[in-house]
């Protein structure tokens, strides 16, 4: 009986691992290689980037939409554990004043991992000379207990597992 109690206690204290999904199909690469100093220096937190091969953008985690930038280039999500996630669609796309990205969710809306959030017109971004890289950052990553290192420089499917995270209790 004591062994069972110890096992239950051990399992209860073990951090719950959560898989973070790719928001888009494409080539996965580290923030340090993003052609934007704020992201490359991790000024907005840890994360990853994807050079997209699709226009469809999905939720990497369950949560609530906390912000949608008026120019449709950023979506904020907060998980029930309090992690703030930022999905940035393209680089310098704020200059497009809303062109090139259509947001399909609303602020305050609950979303599920893998749910379609937005579409991005990669052809238009390319035509106008913008980098279509999709960046995901954890803006308050200090609440994380663990963050696995993704296997970078590989092709990833949309909604494929990128890394696992665990939260401080």
For residue 123, indicate whether it is catalytic: no
Kindly write down the DSSP assignment for every residue of 58-115, as one continuous string: E-SS-EEEEEE-TTSSEEEEE-TT--EEEEEEEESGGGGTTTTEEE-S-TT-EE-TT-
CA–CA separation, 148 vs 15, rounded Å? Answer: 13
Closest CA to 132 of 72, 92, 164, 167: 92
Of 73, 88, 122, 159, which is the active-site residue? 88
CA–CA separation, 161 vs 150, rounded Å? Answer: 9
Tokens of 151: 């296997």
Closest CA to 159 of 68, 83, 61: 61
Residues with a catalytic annotation lie at 88
């Amino acid at each position: 009986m004591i062994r069972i109690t110890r096992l239950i206690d051990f399992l209860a204290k073990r951090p719950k691992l959560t898989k973070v999904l790719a928001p888009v199909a494409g080539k996965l690469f580290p923030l340090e290689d993003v052609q934007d100093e704020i992201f490359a220096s991790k000024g907005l937190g840890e994360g990853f980037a994807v050079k997209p091969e699709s226009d469809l953008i999905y939720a990497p985690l369950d949560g609530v939409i906390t912000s949608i930038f008026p120019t449709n280039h950023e979506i904020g999500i907060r998980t029930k554990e309090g992690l703030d996630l930022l999905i940035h669609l393209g680089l310098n796309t704020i200059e497009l004043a809303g062109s090139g990205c259509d947001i399909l969710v609303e602020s305050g809306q609950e979303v599920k991992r893998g749910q379609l959030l937005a579409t991005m017109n990669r052809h238009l971004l390319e035509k106008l000379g913008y980098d279509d890289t999709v960046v995901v950052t954890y803006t308050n990553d200090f609440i994380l207990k663990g963050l696995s290192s993704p296997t970078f420089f590989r092709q990833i499917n949309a909604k494929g597992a990128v890394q696992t995270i665990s939260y401080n209790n």
